């Protein structure tokens, strides 16, 4: 009875969480027309408030910050000032700010991490509005144009835009599904947030937002009680009666955690910070000023992370019968087929429709299982000791290297996978499949589902090799490569900040060493490079020492063009097929470079 009731409570909690998520999908806002109006007002000079752009940094590399600041400087807006907020007092950051011509702030300590860094800069700057980008995010040229006009409504305190990613996250990379699987956060940023916007319950995500300085100062600055200062900021602004608008346009792009360990650690930190709110003044259930819809939507964030305990229990549940005999359900296999099959089909169809194709239910279940061990333990720790662990910056640096198994991530999945196989064998050897065929069939059904998921989780725990430290984009441009007294024309295949993959119009011998790249369509000439490799009819040229102006042109072309990151939803059927194929394909072991 205890096992059965626990299983029922677990399933009940999962469906309660799903119901809250579906509630936020019933009505989605579209603020494109308001953004168009904002852009017209800015371009006509009718509304040009002063804007401070904050780029907080702690341990990120110089090249990452150079790209972000150049992107911020490329934004089409006359009254903006860029501030590099260095929380580690690095001489290299001060030098970078001087090189690029932006303002630089540091502080004597790191108290309250990112929130403290932002609060330190607030009284030292004076723009009417503040734009914030994390160190890895690069805005499009029209970011301020399309957002600042919303603030003509004096009740609007913040405009949040989606987070998009120009590299693939750990799951898509390690399974080799870059062309068929959406990143894990797309559902939240492109579907859930527009739904929350209809109830003025938008969550700030710490980057790619604009906030009214006077509103931020009215709530005492960025809250520092929890490590998720962004979520706390949105709760306090809404509790104070302000509006937060969500513009569902891809106006910037950053880097996703592409190592499985960093991916898991980042989500666990979000879980800890969200649950800390229960014990802080930003608890959405108790803070004065929120209406019931806002409380429900913000509470759904807490419920989401608590649900990891249910996901973890469901990975363990079949083992209880297979090894010890307690029944999960009191029903027959025929009843399971009769009730569960149509429900599952109906649920998948409903979920795909409500989420506008941004997430396959199959992949949603997989992501929840992959995060369940680490996040479940984080939830338990946070409930008993919410403020035990401090803030840790996610490492998003791309490093070349061979594939490697992250043992800490892989171990729980390997243990559970072996336990499921042994459990089925044990139940057969002890005759449970004959004594209780229906209970055995149901437990084996859940065990088989878990085995498939656990195998996929193991594959994701293998970080595949990184062939280059740069993110390459498929770009076709006319190109001329010259060296010494000769050269060859052709077309680029891939383009990045650090190299060019080039297909020459004709094969030519003697192309080694130093060279120059000319991309007339981009206005780039005499970019210094060296021929790194020639194979399969293509050349790879490493960009060696470009001028600052050449860097600006290249970064603006690759990252900052309006509508650069727009893409249609990927096929639901393709996502389901790739889910089935990924486990057999074993990309990290067989096909990765």
Please spell the DSSP secondary structure of 81-138, one letter per residue.
Answer: EEEEEESS--HHHHHHHHHHT-EEEE-S--TTHHHHHHHHHGGG---SEEEE--TT-E
Closest by Cα among 60, 65, 56, 62 to 87: 56
**pLDDT value at position 394?**
65
Residues labelled as active-site residues: 87, 230
**pLDDT value at position 209?**
98
**pLDDT value at position 593?**
59
Whole-model pTM above 0.85? yes
- Which distant-in-sequence residues (6+ apart) come within 8 Å of 504 by Cβ? 481, 488, 489, 490, 537, 539
**pLDDT value at position 393?**
64
**pLDDT value at position 199?**
95
Number of helical H runs and strand E runs in the chain: 21, 18
**pLDDT value at position 401?**
60
Apex 263 CA angle, 261 and 266, nearest 5:
105
**pLDDT value at position 566?**
84
Q: Which stretches in the chain have pLDDT values below 70?
A: 389-402, 510-511, 568-576, 588-593
The label of the residue with tokens 């972000």 reads 68
| SS3 state of residue 149 | helix
The label of the residue with tokens 């693939």 reads 168
């Amino acid at each position: 009875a205890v096992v059965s009731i626990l299983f029922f409570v677990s399933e009940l909690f999962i469906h309660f969480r799903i119901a809250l998520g579906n509630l936020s999908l019933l009505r989605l806002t579209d603020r494109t027309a308001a953004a168009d109006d904002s852009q017209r007002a800015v371009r006509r000079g009718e509304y040009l408030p002063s804007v401070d752009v904050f780029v907080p940094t702690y341990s990120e590399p110089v090249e990452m910050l150079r790209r972000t600041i150049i992107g911020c400087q490329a934004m089409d807006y006359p009254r903006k000032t860029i501030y590099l907020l260095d929380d580690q007092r690095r001489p290299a950051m001060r030098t970078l700010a001087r090189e690029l011509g932006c303002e630089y702030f540091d502080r004597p300590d790191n108290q309250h991490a990112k929130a403290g860094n932002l609060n330190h800069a607030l009284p030292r700057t004076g723009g009417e509005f503040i734009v914030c980008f994390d160190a890895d995010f690069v805005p499009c040229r029209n970011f301020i144009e399309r957002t600042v006009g919303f603030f003509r409504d004096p009740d609007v305190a913040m405009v949040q835009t989606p987070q998009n990613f120009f590299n693939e996250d750990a799951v898509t990379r390690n399974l080799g599904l870059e062309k068929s699987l959406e990143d894990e956060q797309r559902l939240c940023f492109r579907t859930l947030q527009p739904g929350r916007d209809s109830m003025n319950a938008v969550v700030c995500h710490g980057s790619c937002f604009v906030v009214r300085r006077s509103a931020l100062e009215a709530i005492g600055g960025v809250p520092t009680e929890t490590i998720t200062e962004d979520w706390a900021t949105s709760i306090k602004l809404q509790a104070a009666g302000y509006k937060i608008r969500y513009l569902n346009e891809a106006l910037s792009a950053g880097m996703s955690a592409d190592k499985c360990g960093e991916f898991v650690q980042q989500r666990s930190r979000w879980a800890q910070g969200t649950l800390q709110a229960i014990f802080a003044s930003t608890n959405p259930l108790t803070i004065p000023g929120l209406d019931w819809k806002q409380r429900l939507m913000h509470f759904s964030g807490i419920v989401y992370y608590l649900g990891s305990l249910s996901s973890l229990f469901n990975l363990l549940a079949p083992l209880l019968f297979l090894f010890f005999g307690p029944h999960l359900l009191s029903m027959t296999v025929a009843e399971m087929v009769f009730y569960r099959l149509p429900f599952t089909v109906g649920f998948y169809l409903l979920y795909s429709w409500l989420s506008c194709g941004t997430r396959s239910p199959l992949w949603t279940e997989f992501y929840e299982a992959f995060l369940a061990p680490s996040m479940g333990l984080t939830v338990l720790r946070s409930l008993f000791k919410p403020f035990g662990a401090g803030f840790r910056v996610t490492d998003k640096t791309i490093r070349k290297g061979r594939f490697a198994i992250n043992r800490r991530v892989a171990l729980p999945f390997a243990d559970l996978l072996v336990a499921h196989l042994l459990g089925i064998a044990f139940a057969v050897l002890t005759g449970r499949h004959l004594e209780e065929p229906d209970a055995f069939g149901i437990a084996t059904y859940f065990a088989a589902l878990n085995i498939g998921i656990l195998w996929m989780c193991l594959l994701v725990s293998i970080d595949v090799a990184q062939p280059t430290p740069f993110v390459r984009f498929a770009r076709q441009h006319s190109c001329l490569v010259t060296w010494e007294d000769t050269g060859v024309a052709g077309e680029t295949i891939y383009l990045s900040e650090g190299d060019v993959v080039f297909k020459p119009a004709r094969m030519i011998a003697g192309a080694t060493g130093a060279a120059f790249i000319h991309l007339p369509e981009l206005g780039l000439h005499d970019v210094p490079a060296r021929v790194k490799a020639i194979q399969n009819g293509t050349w790879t040229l490493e960009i060696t020492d470009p001028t600052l102006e050449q860097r600006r042109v290249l970064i603006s072309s690759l990252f900052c063009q309006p509508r650069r990151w727009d893409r249609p939803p990927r096929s639901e059927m393709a996502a389901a097929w790739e889910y089935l194929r990924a486990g057999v394909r074993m990309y990290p072991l067989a096909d990765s470079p």
